[in-house]
Structure 1
Amino acid sequence: MRLSLIAVSVLTFVAVSGPAIVGPATAAAARLERIDELSPTRAAVFIYSPAMGRTVQVQVLHPAGGGQRPAYYLLDGLDPGVSQSTWTNATDAERFFAGQQVNVVLPVGGQASYYTDWQQDDPRFGRYRWETFLTEELPPLINAAFNGNGVNAIGGLSMGGNAAFILAARKPWLYRAVAGYSACPDTGLAMGAVLFSITNRGGNPLNMWGPPGSQGWAEHDPAQLAEALRGKTIYLSTGTGIPGPHETEIKPQLAENVFLGGPIELGVNGCVIAFEQRLRGMGIPARVDHSATGTHSWSYWQDTLHASWPTISSAIGA
């Protein structure tokens, strides 16, 4: 496992803390507590998760009627919304998917979680068992409540895109397609950024998969687990960090997009290129949309969500 300078610096001041997590309860013990219909095509779903020991909200974009349909699990970024997914707050996802024959499943919360099962409870974040929730507890309840047919895809932006590839590689039987929008699916290359991002939000990154370079990190590295992605429809998109058309928009995130989002996207671009080369070297096809411009920001993720949908929908029959 490659250990970056940022990873080393984080390790100098982060100590392991928190009690060990007890193994999760069976997925069958998860229960749907209630569904709040927010509109004819959007619902807030509250599910008690035995794995995390609390009620978790997900929101579902769904057709107003119709027969059985597949599901697209769409994950948020590093700082997700607390009352709704940022996909519905910052993009036209609700309008875009209206009328599509698919259940779009949007987890709410999970800041800096990487949507994974952490090895230890964290003083800042508590108990994170997102992989168990998303892959074992949640799907049967969504299928039962929203007429799902058991066919799934998973995608996400930035942190959520990393997590989508991790989950697809660890649970390959569950997903037919995987998508990452400005996401780095190579955990080794992203190690420094992962450690810094968790620490920057007040968490202890060693509570997630243990020390960098350990078996826990290897077991969550899609670059090392790439063979498990063979046969899936794979979509990735990335900009270069060079300001593009959306930087002329008047929006609160403008300064961040240019001065922070530019360098972040530049780093993601290098990672995506390396991951694409690894897949090609293994003979695993992937669609990768490279943009000559674009920063790490929501306007570009809305664009690529639209661009990716024909690829994803074809894979799952939506």
Structure 2
Amino acid sequence: MTRFTRRLTATAAAALIALSFQSFTPAHAEPGVNPELGGAPHITNIEKVNERWDKVSVYSAAMNKVIVNDVYKAPSSGAPTFYLLPGIDGGDNLDPGGSWAPGTKSWFGMTDIQGFFANRNVNVVSPLGGQFSWWTNWVNDASRQYQTYMTAELPPLIDAQYNTNGRNAVGGLSSTGGTAVDYAIQAPGRFQAVGSYSGMLNPSRDPGQIGITLMGGGVSADNMWGPGGGPLWIAHDPTLNVAKLRGVAVYAAASNTGDVGDVDRMPAGSGNFTGGMIERIVWESTRAFADAAAAAGIPITYVARPTGSHTWGLFESEMQESWTTTIGPALGVG
């Protein structure tokens, strides 16, 4: 371990604690369990925001609750689908004093999804909710079965409703970056391309960091994949399972400095200590994943950005770059 890595690990807890305490009180409750719904997964409602943008409510049988999904429809039928996972806050603002409406601290609220994908023949789908869930399946919480939702329940419903071609990609930011890559490992064939935008790609290396983050939401990481470093942590670690990604188009990026830059779209002279520290942590994780991929002979697109401080500006830039370099070509869309 290098001196830089040791120093980073020693200070990681402080940065993650700061992030978690900023993110303690939910802005509003997620849609809850409705025992009257029942049955197989199905669409319960579609609200049209505009001609291309729908809000699609889907009943998850695995969790017995309804998940709302933003959907930006492709201009033509027979298109693939690009899923974008929310961050630790599930699309809500959890920071004191924030002014975002519920569900708008999300891909559709914080980035130019409509502008970037306006002339690209792809359906873009982003689920909301799942605060402090890592968007994975939890062993001790039946209300958190998000991997099942994303890999088995939601895609067939989107395929049928929007007449897709059945080809899919998924990307995630920060806490869900590694999850997006893990989906391709856990559900082979479901996703032809994956993208990690400043994500944690070796979670079993230091489960304590993830545990601190989840503590901010009042939940224990032991209820997610069992005791830290155990078999499920290893099974869900993209770095340790990188060989299972052969044939999947993979993009992984992070900033190797954590320094604020133009990409962050912050006021001149702004600092972002916590974001910068987190970004350096996830860069170490992303680099470890890239090294493991190279050792296993798995081709990936790995980008170490010179600036970026774990902001929506950075995540959007990484997502757009992943589309043009990796995900769009894998889905056959320019």
- 1:149 is paired with a residue whose SS is coil
1:66 matched to 2:76? The reply is: yes
- For residues 211-270 of structure 1, give each alpha carbon's deviation from its aligned partner in whole angstroms, at most 9, with x where no partner exists: 11222212211122211101111101111212222467339xx55xx1100111111111
Name 2:172's counterpart in structure 1. Answer: 156
Q: Give the counterpart of 1:270 among 254, 260, 284.
A: 284
How do residues 1-318 of structure 1 correspond to structure 2 at under 5 angstroms?
29-63=40-74, 65-82=75-92, 83-84=103-104, 86-121=106-141, 127-239=143-255, 240-246=257-263, 249-250=266-267, 255=271, 258-310=272-324, 311-318=326-333
Q: Distance in 2 between matches of 1:212 and 1:312?
A: 32
Contact 1:44–1:59 at 8 Å: present in 2 too? yes
Aligned-partner residue type, residue 95 of structure 1: G
AA paired with 1:66? S
- Which letter maps to 1:260? T
Native 8 Å contact 1:176 1:233 kept in 2: yes
Please give the per-residue CA displacement for 1:99-122, whole angstroms capped at 9, x wherever unaligned. 21111110101111111111112x
- Equivalent pair of 1:84/1:108 in contact (CA under 8 Å): no
Q: Structure 1 CA distance, aligned partners of 2:321 and 2:49?
A: 27
Q: Please report the TM-score for the alignment, with normalisation by the length of structure 1.
A: 0.85
Deviations 1:15-63 (A, max 9, x none): xxxxxxxxxxxx9811111111111111100111111111111111112
Instruction: Go from structure 1 to structure 2 and tell me whether the alpha carbon gap of 1:180 and 1:173 turns closer, same or farther (over 3 Å shift).
Output: same
Give the unaligned 5+ runs of structure 2: 1-8, 18-37, 93-102
- Contact kept in structure 2, 1:118 and 1:208, CA below 8 Å: yes
The SS at the match of 1:142 is: helix
Matched-pair identity in %? 35
Displacement after TM superposition at 1:282 (Å) = 0.5
- Report the count of equivalent residues: 288
Mark the CA change 1:190 to 1:61 in structure 2 (over 3 Å): closer, same or farther. farther
Q: Distance in 1 between matches of 2:118 and 2:105?
A: 16
Distance 2:61 2:136 in 1: 15
C-alpha distance in 1 between matches for 2:206 and 2:321: 25
C-alpha distance in structure 2 between counterparts of 1:247 and 1:135, whole Å: 31
Two-structure CA RMSD over aligned residues (Å): 2.2
Show the counterpart of 2:96: none
Using the alignment, how far apart are the partners of 1:308 and 1:250 within structure 2? Answer: 26
The question of whether the paired residues in 2 share the 8 Å contact of 1:177 and 1:233 is answered with yes
Deviation beyond 6 Å, 4+ runs, structure 1: 4-7
Q: Which moved more, 1:181-190 or 1:32-41?
A: 181-190
1:28–1:137 Cα contact (<8 Å) kept: no
Q: Which residue of 2 aligns with 1:17?
A: none
Residues 72 and 154 in structure 1, CA contact (< 8 A), matched pair in contact too: yes
1:23 aligns with none
Structure-2-length-normalised TM-score: 0.81
- Following TM superposition, by how much is the alpha carbon of 1:159 offset from its aligned partner in structure 2, in angstroms? 1.0
Once residues 132 and 114 of structure 2 are traced to their aligned partners in structure 1, the CA distance between those partners, rounded to angstroms, is: 24
Q: Equivalents in 1 of 2:39, 2:267: separation in Å? A: 48
Counterparts of 1:87 and 1:177, CA distance in 2: 18
